[in-house]
Amino acid sequence: MRARPLLVALSCACCLFAHAALAAQPRVDDAKWSESYKAGKAALDAKDYRKAEKELLEALELIEPADARDPRRKQVLEGLVKLWMAEREWATAEPWLEKLVALDETVFGKDNLEVSYSLARLGTNRLQMGEYDGAEEAFARALKIRVEAKGPDHKEVASLWHNLGETFRRGKRLDKAEQLYLDALAMKTKALGPTHPSLATSLNDLGVVYNEEGKFSDALPRLREAKTLAAPLGETSPIMGSILHNLGDALAGTKSAEEAERAYKGSIAISEAQTPVDRPSLGRTLNNLGTLYQQLQRFDEAQAAYERAIEVRTLEFGPRDRSVKQSRLNLASLLERTGHLKEAEAIRAEYGR
């Protein structure tokens, strides 16, 4: 019985030690964190990316002492991921997306929907980087979670089927891509109805697969339907620009040159009105328009289109990108055809041709 005062004393000492240790830990300056985060978010919304990066990284540093489960940590990571993906800085975004997935698994559990959403973004980023195996893995994991959480026919499940289809298309597994796009389209139609504007994306990408397979007659009705469904989104919306580009390819493939030219020009007009980061297909459309003009023997117009394509692609991707090489070699072919052999030879020499 005499030992009790000693136990009480020891207990009090432990409490004092714990309180002292807790007081010694660094604490989050809530006011400063809030100021940095709000400034970063506002800059991101205004597309002032340099200021957004500075403020969000400062907010991340300020939140470092907090528990991993503090929701503010996730907010900052999501802001940084959104920033770098908006700037198409895929390699920079990748490790932060992996951190976001790991954080969601820690906070919510590995089978939670939040993990599915982070995995889907990771898959999208890897797709843009050309890492198709990694993208497939991330999308497949996200799909498994989402099917269990929402059921196999939910529109969000259909979106992931579509993403997997895009992964296979870019990896040139076209048969598998076609089937996944068809499945996603059927699921979206069932969930949203046959006239919902979001179906335009599935129809557009299905048209791309048919174009790449050389099935231009199969692509045309899909792309025309996509154009009709996308109309409520606005005649100058980015999806409309993409549809018109793909429609131009299909029309060129079926020798409908006049319609193809109108479609390409419509796509170019839409892309020219966008910011550079929002118009990744502009150079491709100009290049394909140049090819159409060359086939029609409208050589001056073809040269102007190729030169503009080279300018746009160089600005966007850098002078050594393979898309720049493609347009420059197309220009060389045109120059040879029009008798400008020295100019053509100089271009080919750059690529060892």
Residue whose structure tokens are 């420059």: 328
How far apart are alpha carbons 37 and 293 in whole angstroms?
A: 51
Q: Which helix (DSSP H) or strand (DSSP E) does residue 120 occupy?
A: helix 113-129
How far apart are alpha carbons 140 and 225 in whole angstroms?
A: 29
Average pLDDT of 251-260? 96
Domains of the chain in start order, with CATH, are: 280-353 (1.25.40.10)
**Winning range, highest mean pLDDT, from 13-17, 88-92, 141-145, 190-194:** 141-145
Region for residue 310 given its phi and psi (left: phi exceeds 0; alpha: psi -120 to 50; beta: otherwise): alpha
Structure tokens at 300: 């001056």
**Residue 244 CA: distances (Å) to CA of 5, 12, 223, 310:** 85, 75, 8, 21
How far apart are alpha carbons 59 and 2 in whole angstroms?
A: 54
What is the Cα 294 distance to its own chain's centre? Answer: 32
Average pLDDT of 293-302? 96
pLDDT tens-digit map of 329-345:
999 999 999 999 999 99
Residues in the chain: 353
What is the Cα 53 distance to its own chain's centre? Answer: 19
Q: What is the pTM of this model?
A: 0.75
Instruction: Output the pLDDT for position 28.
Output: 79
Q: Is residue 95 within 8 Å of residue 125, measured between CB atoms? A: no
Long-range contacts of residues 73-76, Cβ cutoff 8 Å, at least 24 apart: 73/103, 74/100, 74/103, 74/104, 74/107, 75/37, 76/37, 76/40
Residue whose structure tokens are 């390409």: 264
**More confident site: 29 or 246:** 246
pLDDT tens-digit map of 14-33:
444 444 433 444 687 889 99
pLDDT tens-digit map of 180-232:
899 889 988 988 899 999 899 999 999 999 999 999 999 999 999 999 999 99
Confidence of residue 9 (pLDDT cuts 50, 70, 90): very low
**More confident site: 27 or 136:** 136
pLDDT tens-digit map of 26-81:
687 889 999 999 999 999 999 999 999 999 999 999 998 888 889 999 999 999 99
How far apart are alpha carbons 60 and 175 in whole angstroms?
A: 44
pLDDT tens-digit map of 148-182:
999 988 889 988 998 999 999 999 999 999 998 99
